[in-house]
Structure 1
């Protein structure tokens, strides 16, 4: 996949965002804050090829002699972290809690081997190849943050302040948000997966939760007074767009709690929420399996499963949805 230069655009003074040309797993938004003396990335693309394209586009926007010397990572999922390897001399900044998530996820080369060796006819193998086969981590080394923090951290990029705040467990156990007061912008990471009528997005996938914390993080972003919100995935939002996303999260939370109280297992609860089709414009509804399961863990105290076990359930539901979409209804079945 090649990044079109048009996808790197200015959204405020000396602030640029790369919005991937399509939606889907692993295609995260990235930011560039430039100045006359230094520059900062906020998140990175998933593999070296995409990261190299974003790096080339970034350098075209910088004054001669200025390079990106710091990378702030909103959380430790590989699609926001692993591209930092194209900037080997840059300081990588993350929360201290993000270190645990790095150890929980497969390494880039483990993930590459998993895709290469998985059975394409199995639900998990087929799903991984369909949604992650576009990426190449065969030469990607693990990225380890150089600076970790808890609470708040303030930086300067030239004359621009950068306020970084760690969040309670939300999308993962090590999220942060980046507030740029001068630009009146916030990068939320995967606390928000956005969608608009003009640019439909995908359902969020949350690993940690609870949803109450994710809603709280969205409200915290609004409390900065910012007008521009760059989510981890999907189009840039205004304040009303963030409020609409809070409404989505509140709906999923209410349904998960009601179904848990009714004794419905987590996987079946996710199937029921998907079947309600409250947001048919959103892609990848099978990702609700992850979000509902995370909420259930906070309600019943169950343990976080392994990545492959969790993704296996996602893949199973995706196959069920695909089979259901292609099934021809019987004339007397009452289905339409």
Structure 2
């Protein structure tokens, strides 16, 4: 897979490392902010190799000495935070809820074992290796934030103001967006995906939609999604309409008496957004939304949620497969 050799400048002192992650998991956008002799990074890559590639691409843009003094994690999922370990001298900032999430997030070594030692003859093992087998997580130390906040926090990087705004629970329990008011840029983390169906782990979907509305209310010229191409207000409004439509479809299917598995199967069958990749994520969205609608005491963990998605993707890739087959 090709990774970007340079960053995209989207505003004065704002540069995006945007690997083409459409159609798969794990390739998140990272945003470098430079001003005077200071630099900050919004989100860190998934692996050591990806972090080294980002730093090589960023080198010509960094101030003398090449130091990134601040890292902001929009949330604690590994594809936005595992790379923290390669910034030992930086102040690492997340929401307080993000810190709590990080304490329960599988570490890099745990994920490596899960991906590379699961039975690939099962839908889950096949799916994990299909999407995560390219990544080497070995040797990475879980590294959480050194500073947390709740609500809002304003930082100054050189002469550039960064407003950190807590919008979780939405994608996860601790989501943060980063607003650069003078540059007209918002980094959304994973409350916004472009090019694929979304995946969310906390919800409900109404909270994700509220987070998107918060971004729109900031009137940005440039919107950097957690994954996928950089966009603007038009793309973000289209994404909000998508979220509202998917939510309405799930609710309608529940009102018809369908259970979560039946509702997800119906969404996959009708395929309302064929241009988007990763349709199996509809299984995760449906299960998560049903749990909120049913007032479940706890929300299912990521492995339970991904298992249904893996089955849907496996069945699509192996149409002749029968339970018990190993191919």
- TM-score, structure 1 length as denominator? 0.92
Give the Cα–Cα distance (whole angstroms) in 1 for the partners of residues 210 and 4 of structure 2.
35
Deviations 1:25-46 (A, max 9, x none): 0011110000122100001111
Of the candidates 309, 314, 323, which is equivalent to residue 318 of structure 2? Answer: 323
Unmatched tracts of structure 2, length 5 or more: 322-327
Q: RMSD over aligned Cα, in angstroms?
A: 1.4
Give the Cα–Cα distance (whole angstroms) in 2 for the partners of residues 215 and 59 of structure 1.
36
1:11 aligns with 2:16: no
Partner of 1:68, secondary structure, is coil
| Correspondence for 2:155 | 155
Q: Give the paired residue count.
A: 319
| Correspondence for 2:92 | 92
Give the Cα–Cα distance (whole angstroms) in 2 for the partners of residues 113 and 66 of structure 1.
34
Give the Cα–Cα distance (whole angstroms) in 2 for the partners of residues 21 and 253 of structure 1.
27
| Correspondence for 1:330 | none
Q: Aligned runs of 1:1-336 on 2, under 5 Å?
A: 1=1, 3-6=3-6, 8-23=7-22, 24-194=24-194, 201-302=195-296, 303-324=298-319
Give the Cα–Cα distance (whole angstroms) in 1 for the partners of residues 39 and 254 of structure 2.
47
Give the Cα–Cα distance (whole angstroms) in 2 for the partners of residues 269 and 81 of structure 1.
33
Give the Cα–Cα distance (whole angstroms) in 2 for the partners of residues 310 and 159 of structure 1.
43
Q: Is the 8 A contact 2:221 2:233 kept in 1?
A: yes
Give the Cα–Cα distance (whole angstroms) in 2 for the partners of residues 60 and 2 of structure 1.
20
Give the Cα–Cα distance (whole angstroms) in 1 for the partners of residues 93 and 302 of structure 2.
24
- TM-score, structure 2 length as denominator? 0.94
**CA separation of 1:191 and 1:147: change in aligned 2, threshold 3 A:** same
Partner of 2:153, secondary structure, is strand
Give the Cα–Cα distance (whole angstroms) in 1 for the partners of residues 63 and 44 of structure 2.
21
Partner of 2:41, secondary structure, is strand
Partner of 1:16, secondary structure, is strand
Give the Cα–Cα distance (whole angstroms) in 2 for the partners of residues 131 and 50 of structure 1.
15
Q: CA deviation at 1:281?
A: 0.9
Q: Is the 8 A contact 2:38 2:63 kept in 1?
A: no
Partner of 1:5, secondary structure, is coil
**CA separation of 1:168 and 1:308: change in aligned 2, threshold 3 A:** closer
